[in-house]
């Protein structure tokens, strides 16, 4: 037995964590008539909210489980969901769990060839999808040997819909999974082009929820609003399942333009998002402050009074705090929001850890992602003189392994059973974790100094004319150097008479020389030759992370 499995075996002997259907059934018994889901619907320019109670969600899931069982779906079978969050998405997930099958959430933006590959590898038997993709995905029943059905999650002309197949009653066989059974097969999305199927058992997910809720005080009166899709483990665990554990309600939207009206309409108490949302929020608040002498004075002498006014106007007095995860939140933004009295709880984790490893308090010092969750252990591997090294983790939330990939599974753990996160950080005296970047992205200069692109990217992203930026190691001149690719804010450049790529490069280089004075000399771009300006935006994952593998170590057309 591997050391990781030995450790988990000891954890399991010490504590039994519930399965996903067990905790959902308990929530239904306790909070049955309360609203579980709120989903904004815009019709003819009018915003309405579709509500689903805990009992309705459970009963619809039971009816769909009955249909799946009749179609031959058995415990352990993989059932895929390819769509943005919706009531149908949640019903499909509940049905899969009640049947003892394995949910396989897929990024809604995946192209057909990638969907085909993943369904074939996982031997999926049913695919639920958004109605607009039904027609292009239906042929997969002939191309994926195990796939029996493609079902649309909403009604659509010519599509077999989830709502068409629901029987009148739930008569699915009763099945009680073991906490160690596979519950979710979550493929890592991302920036590397190396997607892996992460196997998460019921214990992984429910242990993580239990630990999170010991740190975050959430209850039945809370109304969580999330922009994080449920096909990411952060969205699934933290923004869907965790609120349902305690009887709270969940509202999902990807409508950034109407985020504030939606938040006001549902009476949001907790907003769950990614750093891009909060970075954008602070830029707008900062611009607003700069435009008003009174607000600048208030921010300096009475920031919490100003913050109270902002909160009341934008989100309502009932609002409690923000939660950020999925990528690094810049300390300046966290510090500014906290100075206003707007609490930010920043989490850190990976798909492989179901996902949360650490979580900060709402008003922790900027820069930390907090202490490990209860039951989670963190240590730094081979720290340098400043205490930085690779972050290692273990706990009941760490994955079973990578699907059909024992070699990669073995590589992901140390000999004594710790999971290698691939992130670089340090622990302070209080046990709080501070991160600097990904180990694989680090730039090692000839001087031996280390540069983490994330820090440089933040400084350059503050230039108004820079829309997107990627910092990387350039070795084209015979030695490692810091280089950057930039997609400009062309609207701002055109206002200043800049319309051509080379003009933009000259203009941006002057701005970069000024901005990088905030960086140590060894972290700076050396000259204009280290700058590439792109004509098109970067390709990004659904978490809005640049897909680095498409740009680094290969020629880029300016």
Q: How far apart are CA 497 and CA 130, in angstroms?
A: 43
Strand-pairing partners, residue 368, are: 434
**Is residue 249 a contact partner of residue 243, using CB atoms and an 8 Å limit?**
yes
Which pLDDT value is given to residue 553? 63
> In the predicted model, is pLDDT for residue 380 greater than 70?
yes
**Is residue 20 a contact partner of residue 202, using CB atoms and an 8 Å limit?**
yes
Which pLDDT value is given to residue 551? 87
Segment among 184-188, 276-280, 429-433 with least mean pLDDT = 276-280
**Domain chopping of the chain, boundaries:** 20-177, 443-550
> What pLDDT digit, counting tens, does each position of 301-342 carry?
999 999 999 999 999 999 999 999 988 898 889 999 999 999
Residue 543 CA, chain-centre distance (Å), reads: 6
Which pLDDT value is given to residue 7? 59
Neighbouring C-beta atoms of residue 326, cutoff 10 Å:
25
**Is residue 373 a contact partner of residue 357, using CB atoms and an 8 Å limit?**
yes
Give the DSSP H or E segment for 503. helix 501-515
Q: How far apart are CA 231 and CA 189, in angstroms?
A: 10
Which pLDDT value is given to residue 69? 96
For strand 356-359 and strand 368-372, is the pairing parallel, antiparallel, or unpaired?
antiparallel
Is the fold of 20-177 the same as that of 443-550? no
Neighbouring C-beta atoms of residue 47, cutoff 10 Å:
13
Q: Which band of pLDDT confidence, cut at 50, 70 and 90, is reported for residue 1?
A: low
Give the closest residue to 82 by CA, choosing from 280, 251, 229: 229
Which residues have CB under 8 Å from 118's CB, separation 6+? Answer: 80, 104, 106, 110, 124, 187, 195, 197
Segment among 39-48, 111-120, 238-247, 354-363 with least mean pLDDT = 39-48
Return phi, psi of residue 252, to 5°.
Answer: -115, 140
- The CATH number fitting domain 20-177, selected from 3.40.50.11540, 3.40.50.450, 2.40.50.140, 3.40.50.980: 3.40.50.980
Which residues have CB under 8 Å from 295's CB, separation 6+? Answer: 288, 289, 306
Which pLDDT value is given to residue 556? 45
> What pLDDT digit, counting tens, does each position of 481-522 carry?
999 999 999 999 999 999 999 999 999 999 999 999 989 899
CATH code of domain 443-550? 3.30.300.30
Q: Tell me the range of 152-156, 174-178, 539-543 where mean pLDDT is highest.
A: 152-156
Q: Which band of pLDDT confidence, cut at 50, 70 and 90, is reported for residue 542?
A: low
Q: Which band of pLDDT confidence, cut at 50, 70 and 90, is reported for residue 447?
A: confident
Provide the 3-class DSSP secondary structure of residue 137.
helix
Q: How far apart are CA 66 and CA 343, in angstroms?
A: 44
**Is residue 419 a contact partner of residue 392, using CB atoms and an 8 Å limit?**
yes
Instruction: Evaluate the CA torsion angle 484, 280, 106, 536 in order and state its sign.
Output: negative
Which pLDDT value is given to residue 11? 57
> What pLDDT digit, counting tens, does each position of 32-52 carry?
999 999 999 887 778 899 999
Lookup: tokens for 504: 């933009």
Does the predicted TM-score (pTM) go above 0.85? yes
Planar angle of CA 172, 176, 182, nearest 5 degrees: 105
Q: How far apart are CA 552 and CA 535, in angstroms?
A: 17
> In the predicted model, is pLDDT for residue 192 greater than 90?
no
Q: How far apart are CA 543 and CA 498, in angstroms?
A: 31
Which CA distances in Å does 535 have to 5, 486, 499, 500, 547?
49, 9, 11, 9, 16
Averaged over 175-180, what is the pLDDT? 92
**Is residue 373 a contact partner of residue 207, using CB atoms and an 8 Å limit?**
no
Share of the chain above pLDDT 70, in %: 95
For strand 368-372 and strand 377-381, is the pairing parallel, antiparallel, or unpaired?
unpaired
Segment among 13-17, 77-81, 162-166 with least mean pLDDT = 13-17
Lookup: tokens for 466: 């820079």
Indicate the length of the chain as a whole number: 558
Which CA distances in Å does 231 have to 99, 342, 517?
20, 28, 40
Q: How far apart are CA 251 and CA 259, in angstroms?
A: 11
- Computed over every residue of the chain, the mean pLDDT equals 92
Which pLDDT value is given to residue 462? 86
Q: How far apart are CA 420 and CA 399, in angstroms?
A: 12
Q: How far apart are CA 376 and CA 509, in angstroms?
A: 45
Token pair 């009816």 is at which residue? Answer: 63
**Is residue 422 a contact partner of residue 414, using CB atoms and an 8 Å limit?**
no
Classify residue 540 by its DSSP letter. Answer: B
> What pLDDT digit, counting tens, does each position of 123-151 carry?
999 999 999 999 999 999 999 999 999 99
Strand-pairing partners, residue 345, are: 323
> What pLDDT digit, counting tens, does each position of 90-108 carry?
999 999 999 999 999 999 9
> In the predicted model, is pLDDT for residue 232 greater than 50?
yes
**Is residue 368 a contact partner of residue 380, using CB atoms and an 8 Å limit?**
no
What is the DSSP annotation of 337-394? Answer: HHHTT-EEEEEEE-GGGSSEEEE--TTPPTTEEEEEPTT-EEEEES--TTS-EEEEEE
Give the closest residue to 532 by CA, choosing from 444, 479, 468: 468
E strand intervals along 61-216: 78-82, 102-106, 126-129, 149-152, 182-187, 197-201
Which pLDDT value is given to residue 494? 93
> In the predicted model, is pLDDT for residue 2 greater than 80?
no
Q: Which is higher by pLDDT, 358 or 330?
A: 358
Share of the chain above pLDDT 90, in %: 79
Q: Which band of pLDDT confidence, cut at 50, 70 and 90, is reported for residue 6?
A: low
């Amino acid at each position: 037995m591997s050391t990781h499995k030995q450790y988990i075996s000891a954890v399991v002997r010490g504590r039994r964590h519930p399965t996903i259907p067990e905790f959902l059934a308990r929530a239904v018994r306790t909070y049955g008539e309360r609203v579980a889901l709120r989903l904004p619907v815009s019709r003819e320019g009018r915003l309405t909210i579709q509500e689903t109670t805990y009992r309705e969600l459970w009963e619809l899931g039971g009816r769909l489980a009955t249909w799946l069982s009749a179609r031959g779906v058995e415990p352990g079978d993989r059932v895929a969901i390819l769509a943005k969050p919706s009531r149908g998405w949640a019903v499909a997930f509940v049905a899969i769990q009640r049947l003892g099958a394995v949910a396989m959430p897929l990024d809604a933006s995946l192209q057909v060839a990638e969907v085909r590959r993943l369904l074939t590898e996982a031997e999926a038997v049913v695919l639920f999808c958004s109605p607009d993709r039904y027609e292009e995905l239906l042929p997969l029943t002939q191309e994926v040997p195990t796939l029996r059905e493609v079902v649309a999650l909403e009604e659509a002309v010519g599509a077999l819909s989830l709502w068409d197949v629901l029987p009148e009653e739930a008569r699915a066989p009763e099945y009680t999974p073991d906490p160690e059974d596979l519950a979710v097969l979550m493929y890592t999305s991302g920036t590397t082009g190396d997607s892996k199927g992460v196997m998460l058992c019921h214990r992984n997910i429910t242990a993580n929820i239990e630990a999170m809720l010991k740190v975050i005080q959430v209850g039945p009166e809370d109304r969580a609003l999330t922009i994080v899709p449920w096909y990411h483990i952060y969205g699934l665990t933290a923004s869907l399942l965790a609120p349902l554990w305690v009887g709270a309600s969940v509202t999902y939207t990807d409508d950034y333009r109407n985020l504030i009206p939606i938040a006001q309409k549902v009476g949001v108490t907790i907003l769950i998002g990614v750093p891009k949302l909060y970075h954008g929020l602070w830029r707008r608040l900062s611009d607003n402050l700069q435009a008003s002498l009174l607000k600048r004075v208030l921010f300096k002498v009475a920031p919490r009074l100003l913050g109270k006014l902002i909160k009341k106007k934008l989100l309502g007095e009932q609002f409690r705090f923000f939660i950020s995860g999925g990528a690094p939140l810049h300390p300046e933004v966290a510090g500014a929001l906290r100075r206003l009295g707007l609490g930010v709880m920043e989490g850190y984790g990976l798909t492989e850890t179901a996902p949360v490893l650490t979580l900060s308090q709402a008003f922790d010092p900027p820069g930390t992602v907090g202490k490990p969750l209860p039951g989670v252990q963190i240590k730094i591997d081979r720290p340098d003189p400043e205490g930085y090294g690779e972050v290692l983790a273990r706990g009941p939330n760490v994955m079973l392994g990578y699907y059909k990939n024992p070699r990669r599974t073995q590589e992901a753990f140390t000999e004594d059973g710790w999971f290698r996160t691939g992130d670089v950080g340090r622990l302070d005296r209080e046990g709080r974790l501070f991160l600097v970047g990904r180990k694989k992205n680090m730039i090692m200069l000839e001087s031996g100094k280390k540069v983490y692109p994330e820090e440089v990217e933040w400084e350059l992203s503050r230039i108004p004319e820079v829309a997107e930026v990627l910092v990387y190691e350039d070795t084209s001149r015979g030695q490692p150097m810091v280089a950057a690719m930039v997609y400009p804010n062309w609207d701002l450049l055109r206002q200043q008479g800049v319309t051509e790529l080379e003009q933009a490069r000259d203009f941006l280089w002057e701005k970069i020389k000024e901005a990088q004075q905030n960086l140590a000399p060894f972290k700076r771009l050396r000259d204009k030759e280290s700058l590439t300006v792109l004509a098109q935006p970067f390709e990004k994952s659904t978490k809005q992370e640049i897909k680095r593998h498409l740009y680094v170590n290969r020629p880029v057309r300016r």
